[in-house]
């Protein structure tokens, strides 16, 4: 059984059973009502997030966080960029200040690879470490979670692809995001590149939600422009896909809508004026809001497709999302345009008296215009995808766990058509 089919039952009914993260309950799927209409029946709302420390200077609390979780010898996962920017040294200093003896691992590349996770775990095991700390972007945090998986469950990281396959407890984790978009610091997801098959695998388990997330917007100020654009578009995709997900609920809806408002109002500002701290603070909150939404509502076709392109080309995940999202919005809106009205309103579009399908179309156009403002390519071809790649990409897309909660049923031909539209 594929990861998608193990997670949710999808059919013509507008109900779906989502069991991601160990919460086995029936959630209402797409409803043919406006976003603020009362639900037809009560729904079981799953909402699981870490303890969160948010605000400028919060990195100073890192040592106390690790100590409270029982840490004596933290394993700090980071990358060369964070080390060069000075954030790793600051984090190590805060850990040492409370008497901890951290071990630093920095051999992580974008889109973390299966062999990198294995190497990091071997270093973790031989060093006698306990609490796992991630200081960096989504790749760093996913690698840190991968170490935690192997520490508590053994085997190879690819063994855990799919939903609820991490069955044993993992070490305590503290995550410090350095980008404004991946949501990895609050999510139940780990994304790892299978370097043999050239695909990305999704690992989904409630055990992977970190114990503590420390969000210090100062770390965002050293992101390069391309990463700022990519992670911002990733956060926007999280918010939009979470809002229309089959597993959405009233708790996730509020966070998703506010994230859309913050991102559309501030992302370009951070690109044009990188030192605009108000905009950075807004984007830090937007990433958090979107992360809390998608980890509980899960995602959809954009992410399922984007993972495959990223695995094939090692391309920036958020950039691929920026190319694909407008096409997926239009596709999903053909079946359920009403759900996109509230999203359009959150993005600042006029919605009063505008037919829902027009609002959805304008939202897709807005996303594309935002990607243009950020310098994101218009097509997958520009990223290196060729027409001959489409059949393989479509097949693996249908096996991705994120496809399970897409609001519209999707077949192989649908995915192939979406990929070709985006070429």
Q: Which CATH number covers residue 362?
A: 1.20.1090.10
pLDDT digits (tens, 9 = 90+) for 251-286: 999 999 999 999 999 999 999 999 999 999 999 999
d(CA 138, CA 155): 23
DSSP state at residue 239 = H
Q: Where a domain ends, among 182, 201, 222? A: 222
pTM, two decimal places: 0.89
Residues 241 and 209 in one domain: no
Residues 397 and 257 in one domain: yes
pLDDT value of position 172: 98
DSSP reduced 3-state for 4: helix
pLDDT value of position 36: 40
Backbone angles phi, psi at 28, to 5 degrees: -70, 135
Q: Is residue 283 a contact partner of residue 220, using CB atoms and an 8 Å limit?
A: yes
Residues 227 and 333 in one domain: yes
DSSP of 270-296: HHH-TT-HHHHHHHHHHHHHHHHHHHH
Name the stretches of the chain with pLDDT < 50.
1-41
Residues 22 and 95 in one domain: no
Q: Is residue 337 a contact partner of residue 354, using CB atoms and an 8 Å limit?
A: no
Q: Element (H or E) spanning 191, and its range?
A: strand 189-194
d(CA 335, CA 214): 39
pLDDT value of position 43: 67
Q: Where a domain ends, among 156, 191, 222? A: 222
DSSP of 54-111: ESTTGGGGHHHHHHHTT-SS-EEE--HHHHHHTHHHHHHHHHHHTT---EEE----SS
Residues 19 and 56 in one domain: no
Residues 284 and 214 in one domain: no
Half-sphere exposure of 366 (CA within 13 A, CB side): 25
Single out the residue of 77, 109, 306, 108 nearest to residue 200, CA to CA.
306
Residues 69 and 93 in one domain: yes
pLDDT value of position 37: 39
pLDDT value of position 212: 98
CB atoms within 10 A of CB 4: 23
d(CA 365, CA 325): 10
Burial of 369 (0-12, 13-18, 19+ CB in 10 A): exposed
pLDDT value of position 110: 92
Q: Where a domain ends, among 156, 189, 222? A: 222
pLDDT value of position 42: 56
CB atoms within 10 A of CB 34: 12
Single out the residue of 227, 239, 403 nearest to residue 315, CA to CA.
227
User: For residue 80, what are the domain limits?
Assistant: 51-222
Cβ-based neighbours of 340, under 8 Å, separated by 6 or more: 244, 329, 332, 333, 356, 359, 360, 363
pLDDT value of position 8: 31
d(CA 61, CA 57): 8
pLDDT value of position 27: 31
Burial of 215 (0-12, 13-18, 19+ CB in 10 A): buried
Residues 182 and 246 in one domain: no
Residue 161: CATH number of its domain: 3.40.50.1970
Residues 34 and 61 in one domain: no
Residues 258 and 288 in one domain: yes
Domain count, the chain: 2
Residues 71 and 214 in one domain: yes
Residues 36 and 153 in one domain: no
């Amino acid at each position: 059984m594929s990861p998608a089919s193990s997670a949710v039952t999808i059919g013509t009914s507008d109900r779906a059973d989502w069991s991601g993260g160990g919460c086995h309950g029936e959630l209402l799927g797409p409803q043919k009502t406006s976003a603020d209409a009362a639900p037809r029946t009560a729904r079981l709302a799953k909402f699981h997030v870490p303890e969160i420390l948010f605000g400028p200077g919060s990195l100073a609390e890192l040592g106390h966080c690790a100590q409270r979780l029982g840490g004596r010898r933290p394993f700090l996962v980071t990358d060369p960029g964070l080390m060069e920017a000075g954030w790793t040294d600051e984090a190590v200093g805060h850990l040492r200040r409370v008497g901890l003896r951290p071990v630093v691992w920095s051999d992580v590349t974008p889109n973390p690879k299966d062999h990198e996770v294995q190497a990091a775990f071997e270093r973790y095991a031989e060093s006698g470490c306990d609490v796992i700390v991630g200081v960096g972007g989504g790749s760093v945090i996913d690698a840190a979670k991968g170490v935690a998986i192997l520490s508590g469950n053994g085997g190879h990281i690819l063994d855990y692809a799919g939903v609820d396959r991490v069955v044993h407890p993992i070490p305590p984790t503290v995550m410090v995001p350095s980008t404004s978009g991946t949501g990895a610091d609050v999510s139940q997801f780990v994304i790892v590149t299978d370097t043999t098959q050239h695909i990305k695998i999704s690992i989904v388990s409630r055990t992977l939600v970190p114990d503590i997330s420390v969000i210090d917007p100062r770390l965002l100020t050293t992101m390069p422009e391309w990463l700022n654009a990519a992670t911002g578009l990733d956060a926007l995709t999280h918010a939009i896909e979470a809002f229309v997900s089959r597993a959405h609920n009233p708790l996730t809806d509020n966070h998703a809508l506010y994230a859309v408002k913050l991102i559309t109002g501030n992302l370009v500002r951070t690109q044009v004026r990188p030192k605009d701290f108000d905009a950075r603070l807004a984007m830090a909150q937007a990433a958090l809001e979107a992360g809390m939404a998608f980890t509980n509502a899960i995602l959809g076709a954009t992410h399922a497709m984007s993972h495959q392109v990223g695995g094939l080309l090692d391309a920036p995940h958020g950039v691929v999302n920026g190319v694909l999202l407008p096409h997926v919005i239009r596709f999903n809106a053909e079946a359920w345009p009403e759900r996109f009205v509230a999203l359009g309103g959150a993005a600042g579009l006029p919605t009063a008296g505008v037919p829902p399908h027009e609002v959805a179309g304008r939202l897709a156009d807005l996303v594309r215009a935002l990607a243009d403002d950020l310098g994101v390519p218009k097509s997958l071809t520009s990223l290196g995808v060729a027409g001959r790649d489409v059949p393989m990409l479509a097949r693996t897309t249908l096996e991705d766990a994120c496809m399970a909660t897409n609001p519209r049923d999707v077949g192989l031909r649908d995915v192939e058509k979406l990929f070709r539209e985006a070429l």
